[in-house]
Amino acid sequence: MVFKKLKCFVKRNVASIVFSGWVWGCGVFVLLIFLELIFELFFQGRRAFFTFGTDFFIRSVWNPVNQEYSARAALIGTLVTSIIGVAVALPLSFGCAYSLTELLPSKISQCLTVAIRLLAAVPSIIFGMWGFFILVPLMSDYVQPFLKTTLGTMPYIGALFSGGTFGVGMLTAGLILAIMITPYTTAVMQDAFANVPALLKESAYSLGATQWEVMRRVVLPRLQKIIIGGIVLGWGRALGETMAVTFVIGNAHHIGWSLFMPSNTIASLIALEFPESASEGLRMSSLMALGAILMLISFIVLFCAQWLLKRAVKN
């Protein structure tokens, strides 16, 4: 009897030790991959950092013939397109999430929720092809001429909507990113709206509050950090998008005020230049340095999103 109990005790402890070791090993393995990825990017990009110094971030030239490279144009294109995507996706996501949670009947809401979340599974290259054949002609024929005629003549902001109306450019890329990140931010906001206690909303309605007042004074104050965290999470998704942006941004190493002008992002530049770069050349090192910069920006953005979401959950 004692032997059986001892055997059972040892068996349970061995199973616990093996399970704990497996779980810790998986976590450490993922962490090592992440650290190795960062190290490899910075190590491979060290030649570009040492060769150009601070000029790598300040200058806007990308000339493979003269072996001159910099990150400014691609960095600005990355930030501008992602900010446009977030700015457009925010009202779309908020409207979708609130209507699905509070306004629509449950059966319609379930069907639309499935459709929106399936949109997140569409490959990015499909979005790029759709943008190239559908969105670019619409932008060149209707949207960009309209914006140029109406907003292009206004002081201060007119420079943003000037130039040629070719359909491609940072504005078009930003719209593609907005469509791509809307399902992610909608899912976060929808879960947040669903977790608001029904008693609070019913109490506000019983006191004569309208839907707008309930949303503004009851729902938003409780979920402000979660909504901001979802937005920042979508922003991190937009920063690293490659193929969809490559199709519609025009891929020109150009810096200008106009949102209609062709440009590029860090991800699109790497995708286009990587196959043509020698493995040990300065061009490849510059691309790896760009990848390190993009990795660092994405890490900071995603860290802020997770921090906001955890703070919201604790409060």
Instruction: Return the sign of the alpha-carbon dihedral for residues 36, 42, 45, 50.
Output: negative
The pTM is what?
Answer: 0.85
- Please name which of 201, 198, 225 lies closest in space to residue 213, comparing C-alpha atoms: 201
111-138 pLDDT, tens per residue? 888 888 888 888 888 998 999 999 999 9
- CA distances to 74, 120, 135, 154, 166 from 132, rounded to whole Å, are 20, 19, 6, 29, 12
Asked whether the predicted pLDDT for residue 6 surpasses 60, the reply is no
By the 8 A CB rule, do 227 and 95 touch? no
Alpha-carbon torsion (276, 279, 280, 284), positive or negative: positive
Count the Cβ atoms, other than its own, within 10 Å of residue 82. 27
Secondary structure (DSSP) of 5-39 = HHHHHHHHHHHHHHHHHHHHHHHHHHHHHHHHHHH
For the chain, the average pLDDT equals: 83
What domains lie within the chain, and their CATH numbers? Answer: 46-314 (1.10.3720.10)
Confidence band for 314, pLDDT divided at 50, 70 and 90: low
Cα 253 to Cα 256: distance, rounded to the nearest angstrom: 10
Q: Are 84 and 171 in contact (CB under 8 A)?
A: yes
- Using CA atoms, how far apart are residues 161 and 152, in angstroms rounded to an integer? 5
Q: Cβ(50)–Cβ(287) under 8 Å?
A: no
